Chains A and B, each alone.
Chain A
Amino acid sequence: DGGITQSPKYLFRKEGQNVTLSCEQNLNHDAMYWYRQDPGQGLRLIYYSQIVNDFQKGDIAEGYSVSREKKESFPLTVTSAQKNPTAFYLCASSSRTGTQPQHFGDGTRLSIL
């Protein structure tokens, strides 16, 4: 089945540690996105990428980094500079032209030890 796979489902981070969240899609979508969701809040955009080897900051990029070496993959690194990383992280993808709606993975819940 075509879809978006996020891993791991749950992740724990120690103070001062970087962690990487995986996102893989087999929908042949050019564009991929990372959102952060906090309780009672809507989704907020962290980073997005429209094509391989290119990505742009979203509204809350500080403390995060991404790479887009392959069309299928868009990993997100939560760095130690992100002081409040506990949240639910969602990856999405869509066609580059935006004529198709975004589809989401099942998310990764990150917590601090």
Chain B
Amino acid sequence: GQQLNQSPQSMFIQEGEDVSMNCTSSSIFNTWLWYKQEPGEGPVLLIALYKAGELTSNGRLTAQFGITRKDSFLNISASIPSDVGIYFCAGQPPTNSGYALNFGKGTSLLVTP
């Protein structure tokens, strides 16, 4: 499966700042998902997007499914130290391996108090 282009690779910010990361693909996807992973644990789902143009929020997190179906972004507002972790985008292409996901390489977020 295709690996998605996720950027930035890492971010080092101060508490209270807003964060933005994005993911692009050369082909279209039916679903975009954003996960957060902490060291030694499995990814935890943050937001799921199922329709082009869809904008969804989960607390301080907001994500959008791009109109072209080839991109998605995740914003985190007013970051706090517990936001630290690796954020992954994942997409589900129209014809794929039994709904298996294609993943980006992750954005590592560090937040200083």
Interchain nearest-CB distance for A89 vs B (Å): 10
CB-CB < 8 A to A106: which residues of B? 40-42
Q: Is the CB of B98 within 8 A of A56?
A: yes
Q: Say if the beta carbon of B78 comes within 8 Å of chain A.
A: no
CB-CB < 8 A to A74: which residues of B? none
Contact residue among B44, B45, B99, B104 (Cβ-Cβ distance under 8 Å from A98): B99
Q: Is the CB of A107 within 8 A of B41?
A: yes
Contact size range, A: 20 to 34
Q: Say if the beta carbon of B67 comes within 8 Å of chain A.
A: no
Q: Is the CB of B4 within 8 A of A42?
A: yes
CB-CB < 8 A to A56: which residues of B? 97-98
Q: Is the CB of B42 within 8 A of A58?
A: no
Q: Is the CB of B42 within 8 A of A101?
A: no
Nearest CB to that of A34 among chain B residues?
A: B100
Interchain nearest-CB distance for A36 vs B (Å): 11
Given contacts A48-B98, A58-B100, A94-B99, A42 and B45 within 8 Å (CB-CB): no
Given contacts A43-B88, A98-B92, A101-B48, A31 and B99 within 8 Å (CB-CB): yes
Scan B10-43; emit 1 where CB is below 8 A from any A CB, else 0.
0000000000000000000011010100001111
